[in-house]
């Protein structure tokens, strides 16, 4: 004998299905599917009607079922390396946050996996073998790094954040920020403020990113008829190296301003100025690169080149969607322009 429901109890609510949305909106099931997965295929008025119906009915696509049918995971793999000790740079934290947001808007999630310097492709290999991710974002494109070349050999879809500096025949897709353009902005800003003795503190010569940033300082100085003799130093990207380089340059070359390859090195310069009781911006101007949180909260305020990491993330995800849907990619490489955030240090 069937029992009546107890007073106050509720019958289970059946979830809204794709068919329910199609019937209410007066369209086919395929049209609803396109509205969710391929909105570019629909006319704007049709897309708006379907989306309004989805919102009214509270429809939530069953992504797990779709992934089983299409054998996709909707996951993007990213090898994550912690920030180096002794530096002020947390740029990758900002990039990862931007990538997570851009991926979520496109219907993907980011899967972080740890870096292993002894086996730089091991994590990629494991995820590929288990089909755990649909694609990768590669951030380590420095000289000699094997990841991009290995993924290309495996024909795995990926986009690199950074140019293939050491591989002229590389055909993979990349997005990068024009570092030379950033240091040109920084150097010209200091020249416009009346400085003629502008020193450069950058990274070792085997860093193509550092050399790219150095070229912006060098070409701008020469374009303005200014000498660079004795005004450049190459060091490790840690605060104490920046401080030591600044001390030597101040003693030997008497610059009135510094352009640095990173905020980390700029913090070293500021440390030396503090020891010598020189005021940043008044006695000696300082410009960093990356517009880190340290640059923003430093008491004086550090002028710094800001990379458009939010735009980088959006462009990477856009390109990944093209690759995963087997659509043509317009350009192999996209180079984005940075900006200069001016504060009291310059």
For residues 150 and 249, membership in a common domain is answered with no
| 185 and 293, same domain (yes or no) | yes
Residue 144 lies in a domain: yes
Do 231 and 254 fall within a single domain?
yes
Handedness of CA 141, 97, 182, 300 (dihedral sign): negative
Residue 223 lies in a domain: yes
Query: What's the domain range around 39?
Result: 18-61
Do 248 and 326 fall within a single domain?
no
Please indicate, yes or no, if residue 5 is contained in any of the structural domains. no
Where residue 44 sits, what CATH number does that domain have?
1.10.260.40
- 230 touches 252 (CB < 8 A): yes
313 shares a domain with 172: yes
Phi first, then psi: what are they for 278, rounded to 5°? -105, 135
Write down the residue that tokens 């050491």 correspond to. Answer: 166
**120 and 161 housed in the same domain:** yes
Residue 11, in any domain of the structure: no
Residue 99 lies in a domain: yes
- Identify whether the C-beta of residue 323 lies closer than 8 Å to the C-beta of residue 151: no
Same-domain pairing of 97 and 209: no
Instruction: Please state the pTM of the whole predicted model.
Output: 0.76
SS3 138: strand
pLDDT tens per residue across all 346 residues of the chain: 444 444 444 444 567 788 888 999 999 888 888 888 778 788 899 999 999 998 888 887 655 445 434 456 789 999 987 666 655 566 788 899 999 999 998 889 999 988 777 787 888 888 888 778 889 999 877 656 788 888 888 888 999 999 888 777 778 899 999 999 999 999 999 999 999 999 999 999 988 999 999 999 999 999 999 999 999 999 999 999 999 999 999 999 999 999 999 999 999 999 999 999 999 999 999 999 999 888 888 888 999 999 999 999 999 999 999 998 888 888 888 999 999 999 999 9
Q: How many domains, in total, are found in the chain?
A: 3
**Together in a domain, 145 and 225:** no
Q: Is 15 exposed, middle or buried (0-12, 13-18, 19+ CB in 10 A)?
A: exposed
Q: Are residues 124 and 192 in the same domain?
A: no
| Residues 245, 205 share a domain | yes
Do 165 and 274 share a structural domain? no
Q: Does residue 135 sit in the same domain as residue 45?
A: no
The CATH number of whichever domain residue 114 belongs to comes to: 3.40.50.2300
């Amino acid at each position: 004998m069937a029992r009546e429901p107890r007073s106050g109890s509720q019958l289970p609510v059946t979830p809204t299905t794709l068919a329910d949305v199609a019937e209410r909106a007066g369209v086919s099931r395929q049209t609803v599917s396109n509205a969710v997965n391929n909105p570019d295929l629909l006319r704007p008025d049709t897309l708006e009607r379907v989306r309004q119906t989805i919102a009214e009915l509270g429809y939530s696509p069953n992504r797990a079922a779709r992934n089983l049918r299409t054998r996709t995971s909707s996951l993007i793999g990213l090898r994550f390396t912690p920030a180096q000790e002794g530096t002020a740079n947390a740029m990758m934290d900002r990039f990862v946050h931007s990538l997570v947001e851009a991926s979520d808007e496109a219907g993907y999630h980011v899967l972080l996996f740890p870096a292993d310097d002894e086996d730089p492709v091991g994590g990629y290999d494991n995820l590929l073998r288990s089909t755990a991710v649909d694609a990768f974002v590669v951030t380590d494109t420095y000289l000699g790094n094997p990841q991009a070349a290995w993924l290309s050999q495996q024909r795995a879809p990926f986009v690199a954040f950074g140019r293939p500096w050491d591989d002229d025949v590389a055909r993979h897709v990349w997005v990068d920020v024009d570092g030379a353009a950033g240091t040109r902005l920084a150097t010209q800003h200091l020249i416009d403020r009346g400085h003629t003795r502008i020193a450069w503190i950058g990274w070792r010569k085997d860093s193509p990113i550092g050399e790219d940033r150095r070229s912006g300082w060098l070409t701008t100085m020469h374009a303005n008829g200014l000498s660079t003799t004795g005004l450049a130093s190459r060091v490790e990207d840690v605060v104490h190296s920046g401080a030591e380089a600044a001390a030597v340059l101040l003693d030997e070359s008497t610059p009135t301003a510094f352009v640095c390859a990173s905020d980390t090195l700029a913090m070293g310069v500021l440390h030396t100025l503090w020891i010598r009781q020189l005021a940043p911006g008044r006695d000696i101007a300082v410009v960093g690169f990356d517009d880190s949180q340290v640059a923003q909260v430093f008491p004086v305020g550090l002028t710094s080149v800001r990379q458009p990491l939010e735009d980088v993330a959006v462009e990477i995800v856009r390109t990944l969607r093209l690759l995963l849907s087997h659509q043509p990619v317009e350009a192999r490489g996209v180079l984005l322009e940075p900006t200069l955030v001016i504060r009291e240090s310059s």
